[in-house]
Amino acid sequence: MQRQPKKRDAWGTRLGIIMAVAGSAIGLGNFLRFPAKAASNGGGAFMIPYFVALFLLGIPLMWIEWTLGRYGGGFEHGTAPGIFHSIWRKNRFIKYFGVIGIFGPLVIFVYYSYIEAWTLAYSFFALIGKYTGIADQATMQSFLRGFQGLEHNRFFQGMGPAYTFFLITFVINITVIYYGIKGGIERLCKWAMPLLFIFGVILFIRVITLGTPDPARPAWNIANGFGFLWNPDFSALKSARVWLEAAGQIFFTLSVGIGVILTYASYLSKGNDVVLSGLTAAGTNEFAEIILGGSIIIPAAFVFFGPVDIQSIARSGVFNLGFVTMPLVLNKLPMAAFFGFAWFFLLFLAGITSSVSLAQPAVAFLEDEFDISRKKAVFIFGAVSFLFCHAAVFFLKNGVVDELDFWGGTFFLVLFATIETILFAWVFGMEKAWDEIHKGADMRVPKAYKFIIKYITPLFLFLILGMWLWQEWLPVIFMKNVSSSDRPYILFTRIGLALVLLTLAILVKIAWKRKRMLEEKIS
């Protein structure tokens, strides 16, 4: 008697999966992180390592993850532990490396959903004119800090508004996830992504038509604003940091190395194309990042704040760029309430299409490996993640969000990408992998990528890890750049992360033991 394959969820349309993967990739980093990184790392010169990383790292990893996900889905696995096990069955430990593909998205979801809530709150604040009268950076910064609960001021007397919008955002996320791949995530992305692009294009057109608002400062014009962002400083190419920053941005922007694409692709059938679909999703993301993301904040800020202040603005951090500088710019325009809403609701749409994708690996793991219903899996995920989110909500000022971002969204992301690349090209085998990529494909991958995926991409990844270990690991491990008052919070966060990682590994062990017992019982 053989165990009957269970009915797994599936995408409704090809457009649906493309919109969902593009939605996962198009997030806050496209509109906040990218312009800040580009402007503070040599402008146009940053784009050289950016495109090198895109073609040698991002696109290969994108195809690797789409292919591995579809392959693992054929064995009823929707997350990295099961997918890795299906690739290397003889190695009983490889599934534990796949735990990172659940751990990373869960950790990112914990703080990302809170930041996403800020964008929904500011959308509301724009409509009611709560920050309309603010005209300088210091006051707008105070508005943000008051909202975050970092200080009491005339704008906010506590964390009530921030926590309320966090609850609303969290409930929206869980509701979308509850309705599944087709009824929840695909449906959301099909309307959210077009609306995001509509708002993006409106803001783009408004920015490029700014001209020279102040005749007394003719050099403060939109052309020079774009020049600041795109004119290259080639001396920046000598800096290893610029290359690492560019590679890191590619990871963020394409959502590779996280485990989300693996899970999304696991709901494809064997005949579904991954080559063109993956490339279309990546291209959609790059349009959002380079054309829209690179054309809104920095050029607009240049027009109103000039070439001196723009340097500090570009380096002030993504929170300040999005929640301090941009509202000030939009306040200077006619129809400020509408443009403010368009900006922040665009960010909210980018955020929610990403955050629901971050939740899916953990939910899929519970569904696939423990054979529980989606309703129960979502309830478990919701309860656990809601509890964890409070660390980001209440200890933002103590550096907890930065710590979560480093481990979940930076270090383990690169480590996971390295593992899956080695598995794909060297364990699965490049010839077999090449055939798997092209099953059902509407186009052929350029043959050069056969060499790139096998040799260049893993070498690039090892270089990134090696550079970090050489330059950064001792200061990070020993918290050299953490204030003494914040060290207990960071230590507690690290202990918590270690316990989460260990718990996931134990769950994998239990799941596989349970499967073996079930198979023995059936046979």
Please, what's the b/e burial string for 474-500 (b: 16 or more CB within 10 A of its CB; e: otherwise)?
eebeebeebeeebeebbeebeebbeeb
For residue 2, what pLDDT band results from cuts at 50, 70 and 90? very low
Q: Which two tokens stand for residue 245?
A: 């920053």
Which one, of 394, 486, 489, lies nearest residue 148 by Cα?
A: 394
Beta bridge partners of 232: 43
Domain of 318?
14-522
Which one, of 424, 310, 340, 296, lies nearest residue 34 by Cα?
A: 296
* pLDDT > 90? residue 3: no
Mean pLDDT for all residues in the chain: 90
- Would 6 be classed as within a structural domain? no
pTM of the model: 0.93
Cβ count near 93 (within 10 Å): 9
Which residues lie closer than 8 Å to 221 by C-beta, 6 or more apart?
210, 211, 212, 303
Q: How many structural domains compose the chain? A: 1
- Would 1 be classed as within a structural domain? no
Question: Using CA atoms, how far apart are residues 7 and 342, in angstroms rounded to an integer?
Answer: 40
Q: What pLDDT was estimated at residue 1?
A: 41
* pLDDT > 70? residue 523: no
Beta bridge partners of 43: 232
For residue 6, what pLDDT band results from cuts at 50, 70 and 90? low
Average pLDDT value for residue range 224-231: 84
- Would 7 be classed as within a structural domain? no
Please report, as a single letter, which amino acid is at residue 87: I
The per-residue pLDDT for range 166-218, each reduced to its tens digit, is: 999 999 999 999 999 999 999 999 999 999 999 999 999 999 988 787 788 88
- Would 190 be classed as within a structural domain? yes
Count the residues in the chain.
523
Question: Using CA atoms, how far apart are residues 475 and 239, in angstroms rounded to an integer?
Answer: 20
How many DSSP H helices and E strands does the chain contain?
28, 0
- Would 148 be classed as within a structural domain? yes
CATH number at residue 346: 1.20.1740
- Would 424 be classed as within a structural domain? yes
The per-residue pLDDT for range 439-494, each reduced to its tens digit, is: 999 899 999 999 999 999 999 999 888 887 787 788 888 888 889 999 999 999 99
* pLDDT > 90? residue 312: no
For residue 251, what pLDDT band results from cuts at 50, 70 and 90? confident
CA distances from 473 to 208, 253, 372, 407, 495 (A): 43, 24, 40, 12, 17
